Structure 1
Amino acid sequence: MSRLAQLLARIAAARAGLPSPPVDPPRPTILFTGPAGPINASPYLLTVTLSDSSNVARVDFFKGTLQIGQALSAPYTCPAPLTYLDNGEVRFRAVVIDLDGQPREVSFRIDVAIGEPDTTSPVPVLHVSATNFTADGTLTLTCAASDNTGVTSLVLTRTSGGQAPLPLTIAPDGTFSETITRASNGTHVYTLTAFDAAGNPGSTSVTVTVAIPQPAGTLGLSAFPLSLTSPGTVALGAVPSLPSGVTIRYIDFYQGTETPENYIRREGAAPYEATSNLLSAANSGTVKFIAVATDSLGRQLRSEINVAVNITGETPPPAPNPALYVEPDYSSITWEPPLVITDAYLNSLGITPLASGPDAGRYHLDGGPGGRFIRNTVKGDCAIWVNTTRPLLLTRFTASGPAGSGTGRAAIGNGKYGAPLGNSVAVDVIIRDSSVITPGLELLDGQRAGGILFGYAKNVIVENCNLNGTSILAAQSCWGGGTFRAERNRFRNIDGRYRDRSSPNGFSLAGANTGWALVQAVQLDKVRGVPGISIKDNWITNEPGLSRVEDNINTYKSGGTADSPLMIDRNIIDGAYDTVPSNIHSGSAVVMGDEGGEHTTAQRNTAVRTSNTGISMSSMNHGKILDNRIGQTGFAPDGSRVDQNGQNIDVGIYARNYASNFVMDKATNLVGGNLAAWGAPLSGQPNRRLDFGFSSNATEGPTPNTSYAGVVTEALLDGWIADHLALWAAEGVVVGRRVS
């Protein structure tokens, strides 16, 4: 009750003669205090002191209008929170509520000057001497940090292989070092964390990878003999010494330098041996041999040895035939872009049909005395697109490019320019005194050399051309009076291998379809019932390690007529090897018919060193194999067997039926007058022979066949080739591109 109310009540009681009502005790004094300002810390303690608290229910505390606390009994205090946002004058209030609910308020003001809080994290800096280790060494970490208020501590940890972080001790100079060995292999994360006085952390990390392989071994290389005074080969042997757990994948041997052209062979199992190429007077001096071993970890070991060569008195090589064209070095050629030969192109040059001579009526496109060099680098395109239906004579051109994958797509072909794959032009073409050469090591990986390829053509004749690494193929062609002739062409190292820069010789060593395609020097595909077909006086040479031909000549489902059979006549065919000559090889010199041909004669050919078989007729009738020389030793030039298994070497001449639903008529097929010396050596049987195997599907005659009586030697085979060359010379036959 208020003082006024109490006074009025007492007056009223006196007038009425009643006792006076009780008087409330006097109100307590209130003292509301806090520490003197200015205030620079929080919290700020507020205190209310009462002279008498017996009638006090509670005390409420306020900062401005915001209640910040309450006290229900003594001591009446409240810690007031302050921040730098309160800086300046702050009014605190205390409201004392008595038991009757009557409030009394007191207040005071204070100055606040609290600094802003530090929320900035330190910036640590962690330098590492190396992030990758492949050999033993020392890892040094340099630790530092900066902060706006100062750094109080640095903590360095290492986390390895998913384990808990390991604390590391930082030296007084701010560094940490540890030794790295093979035992450290793995991935390690080093984390540096810096703290400031406010407890703010800042972290940075570096990752260090340790992959130290087992120590490399050594490779020894021996050679015998160490000196040569007469032509011969050198036997090489490599012996690796390796740490435990490491094996050899293979060892590659080279002569001179580690380049594809100097590659000798690869050995994948011990003993690691190889035989050099034949050394002659041209090699006189010091000849270096190199062995490069690749181990199971992909590392290489290298060793080399020198052999002294002092050979004199050899017969110099014959002078080149001045009538023959000499191919320039590929790298020195200035190439033109692809050429599309159309009617419009011939018109633009003012070319009209020849008026006389054996080529009368043909449009003669000539490369000129120096020749024209045309190259394509795009797989599936041609270097020279023959896209005219006019009778064309093409002379003195050189073409080069990768093999395509469509009809008429090659270095020279009749694929239709600008049209989808499968489209071709019905051409009538003679290609004479020209060259098609492989791009060789300039091919892209996965590419192989392109040659001459015509599909659905009317007439295809290739004469006196050089084909280096490439071939001729005519498919489903020669109609309307046309024919096919491949005569007096020089083939060298027909190559179906795909380019592979990861291989030591630059070409794939993998197997069929992956590492190489089936290619022939001359391939007919379903060219049948056509008179006048001639494959004659061609010289084909394939060297081991530089080529990969299947059948040198193959006439798949092709043939001539009864009056004019397909003639394979008087060719020299020397060599057919797998990419690795000691592998099993299914190639040959000649396969006639091949699933259904007819009216084909192979005669007067010299076929040597073709690994699997010589001349054969397969699933055909009216075939003849007459008066040929067929031979091989069964050994590669380095002395290894061309088929180490031995069981795959077939007979020199055979007649077999491989096609279902085809009947070979033995009476129509003749094999006669042939001289065979077909070596098929096995381990322990170096002179084993398999000369003939045709009796079930062909008849011997009209003259008997002969097996060579002596031991088959390389000298014998070279002599046969010399005889053949002498025959050509006597008849004035010039084989290859001529100088004109």
Structure 2
Amino acid sequence: MRELNFSPKAAAPDYEGPLIITKGGTYSGNWESKDSDVAAVDVRTKEPVIIENSKIRGAGFLIRSQGYGANITVRNTEGYGLRPTPYTDYMKPRRFLAVDVFSNVVVEHCYMEETAGIYLGVEYTGNGSPEQTIKIRYNKALNINGQVYSGKDRVQFVQFNYRGEVPHAEIAWNEVINQPGVSAVEDNINIYNSRGTPQSPIRIHNNYIQGAFPYPLHLEEYSGGGIIADSPGTDSLRATAYVKVYENHLVGLGNYCLGIAGGNNIEMHHNRAVVAARFPSGKPYHFWTSGIWAKDYYKMSNTFDNSMHHNTLAVLGKDRTWRNEVYDSTFAAAAEYANHILPDSVTKDLEATEYDLWQEKLRSNRIKIGPLSHL
């Protein structure tokens, strides 16, 4: 697995203090907040807001909207986490974007470093059209990190946790790289009690996700990992449902690569999981690994009609044995797999080859990820 440096090398810009947006429009600039209780950019309107060609950094939320039915587009923007400070009331991780109640969210061609990723929660209030949906595409992220002052929150590159069904939603063509010891990510992508529709499922495809580790790194227990459908404490009408996960690359992850802990009408197919279970130093992982994890975990009668098929799995454990498939006897999924790679070929070089395959996929599809211009 290659050690890559994605940090831009341009001269540091001048940052203004926090920005509060109360009217729709297009906003460009450089904003920061060194206080974890204060968002660097706070959107307080349901009118369409575009944030573009900007740099944002914060000790807490970078971009936030709470309770406004937000319509937010963030594009061609860089976000960086600053050192967390003491907070009040509840933990405020350094989310690149945190939105509670929304009609439309688009995050495209952005770069984020040492942030706590993207969180969409509470309620979808849109009209179900392609113009009012969720699009998280063509972004680059380095070291998703849930650290807060004197602690750590469970954070993701993306988490959905909303009420309502969102058609046309897509998480695609993103590159997420987490380095051991400096990242603090839970699940890289977590679909939590959130739904697409039968005609238009949530599509999670063609993402490259490398690295998922406990923090601090010496811990032997780790509950995070790759891409998971999770659905605790709810019935089948509100559970995670109508999700398709396909053609993703999952590399060097701890705990699991693909998982279903609850939900229905979820299909995971033609993904690639390659885990040599060794650090760059060559030392074996000291925590659990697995390729596919599937279980009716919460016993809420909401887990059915799921399938996991035609995934390419080459996952070793810390004891150097296969960890491709882990099932619970109560789970009903298609036991169909293909293209297993011999255990003795699962090496760090094979993980590096997976990144080469990803780069070739980008070239062949003429896709540029990250900001499109020098900011």
- Specify the TM-score bucket, using the shorter chain as the normaliser: 0.7 to 0.9
Structure 1 counterpart of 2:178, one-letter code:
N
TM-score (normalizing by structure 2): 0.88
Alignment of 1:126-525 (within 5 A): 326=8, 328=10, 332-343=12-23, 363-365=25-27, 367=28, 372-403=29-60, 410-415=61-66, 424-439=67-82, 442-444=83-85, 448-470=93-115, 471-481=117-127, 482-498=132-148, 515-525=151-161
Q: Does structure 2 retain, via aligned residues, the 8 Å contact 1:402–1:450?
A: no
d(CA) in 2 for partners of 1:527, 1:468? 29
d(CA) in 2 for partners of 1:449, 1:688? 37
SS of residue matched to 1:457: strand
Structure 1 residue 448: Cα displacement: 5.0
Q: Does structure 2 retain, via aligned residues, the 8 Å contact 1:671–1:698?
A: no
2:203 counterpart residue number: 567
- Stretches of structure 2 lacking an aligned partner (at least 5 in a row): 233-238
1:594 counterpart residue number: 231
1:651 counterpart residue number: 290
d(CA) in 1 for partners of 2:260, 2:313? 16
Q: Does structure 2 retain, via aligned residues, the 8 Å contact 1:528–1:597?
A: no
Structure 1 counterpart of 2:279, one-letter code:
A
TM-score (normalizing by structure 1): 0.46
Could you tell me which of 258, 274, 299 is aligned with 1:631? 274
Could you tell me which of 334, 339, 352 is aligned with 1:718? 352
d(CA) in 1 for partners of 2:310, 2:356? 20
* CA deviation vs aligned residue, 1:83-132 (integer Å, no higher than 9, x gap): xxxxxxxxxxxxxxxxxxxxxxxxxxxxxxxxxxxxxxxxxxxxxxxxxx
Q: Does structure 2 retain, via aligned residues, the 8 Å contact 1:582–1:640?
A: no
d(CA) in 1 for partners of 2:170, 2:63? 20
SS of residue matched to 2:59: coil
Structure 2 counterpart of 1:378, one-letter code:
D
Aligned pair in 2 of structure 1 residues 661, 444: CA closer, same or farther (>3 Å)?
closer
d(CA) in 2 for partners of 1:635, 1:698? 32
1:177 counterpart residue number: none
Structure 1 residue 586: Cα displacement: 1.5
Q: Does structure 2 retain, via aligned residues, the 8 Å contact 1:492–1:540?
A: yes
* CA deviation vs aligned residue, 1:330-372 (integer Å, no higher than 9, x gap): xx332101111122xx6xxxxxxxxxxxxxxxx333x2xxxx2
Could you tell me which of 243, 257, 274 is aligned with 1:614? 257
d(CA) in 2 for partners of 1:592, 1:598? 8
Q: Does structure 2 retain, via aligned residues, the 8 Å contact 1:593–1:618?
A: yes
d(CA) in 1 for partners of 2:163, 2:250? 24
Structure 1 counterpart of 2:144, one-letter code:
I
Aligned pair in 2 of structure 1 residues 582, 638: CA closer, same or farther (>3 Å)?
farther
Q: Does structure 2 retain, via aligned residues, the 8 Å contact 1:597–1:619?
A: yes
Structure 1 residue 386: Cα displacement: 1.3
1:707 counterpart residue number: 340
Aligned length: 355
Structure 1 residue 526: Cα displacement: 2.6
Q: Does structure 2 retain, via aligned residues, the 8 Å contact 1:631–1:676?
A: yes
d(CA) in 2 for partners of 1:570, 1:335? 34
1:26 counterpart residue number: none
Structure 1 residue 663: Cα displacement: 4.1
* CA deviation vs aligned residue, 1:120-168 (integer Å, no higher than 9, x gap): xxxxxxxxxxxxxxxxxxxxxxxxxxxxxxxxxxxxxxxxxxxxxxxxx
Aligned pair in 2 of structure 1 residues 724, 380: CA closer, same or farther (>3 Å)?
same
Larger of the two Rg values belongs to structure: 1
d(CA) in 1 for partners of 2:33, 2:175? 27
- Stretches of structure 1 lacking an aligned partner (at least 5 in a row): 1-276, 279-316, 347-362, 404-409, 416-423, 500-513
Aligned pair in 2 of structure 1 residues 528, 536: CA closer, same or farther (>3 Å)?
farther
Percent identity, aligned pairs only, is 22
Aligned pair in 2 of structure 1 residues 390, 498: CA closer, same or farther (>3 Å)?
closer
d(CA) in 2 for partners of 1:717, 1:493? 18
* CA deviation vs aligned residue, 1:458-480 (integer Å, no higher than 9, x gap): 11111111111111110023322
Aligned pair in 2 of structure 1 residues 528, 658: CA closer, same or farther (>3 Å)?
farther
Q: Does structure 2 retain, via aligned residues, the 8 Å contact 1:587–1:610?
A: no
d(CA) in 1 for partners of 2:364, 2:123? 34
Structure 1 counterpart of 2:102, one-letter code:
A
d(CA) in 1 for partners of 2:269, 2:56? 36
Aligned pair in 2 of structure 1 residues 387, 327: CA closer, same or farther (>3 Å)?
farther
SS of residue matched to 2:298: coil
d(CA) in 2 for partners of 1:374, 1:327? 19
* Runs ≥4 residues deviating over 6 A: none
Aligned pair in 2 of structure 1 residues 708, 698: CA closer, same or farther (>3 Å)?
farther
Structure 1 residue 605: Cα displacement: 0.3
Q: Does structure 2 retain, via aligned residues, the 8 Å contact 1:679–1:690?
A: yes
2:169 counterpart residue number: 533
Q: Does structure 2 retain, via aligned residues, the 8 Å contact 1:341–1:386?
A: yes
d(CA) in 1 for partners of 2:65, 2:250? 31
SS of residue matched to 2:8: coil
Query: More relative contact order in 1 or in 2 (CA 8 Å, sep 6+)?
Result: 2
Could you tell me which of 557, 581, 599 is aligned with 2:193? 557
Alignment of 1:30-179 (within 5 A): none
Could you tell me which of 729, 734, 738 is aligned with 2:363? 729
Aligned pair in 2 of structure 1 residues 547, 341: CA closer, same or farther (>3 Å)?
same
d(CA) in 2 for partners of 1:641, 1:716? 15
Structure 1 residue 527: Cα displacement: 4.7
Q: Does structure 1 retain, via aligned residues, the 8 Å contact 2:22–2:45?
A: yes
1:691 counterpart residue number: 324
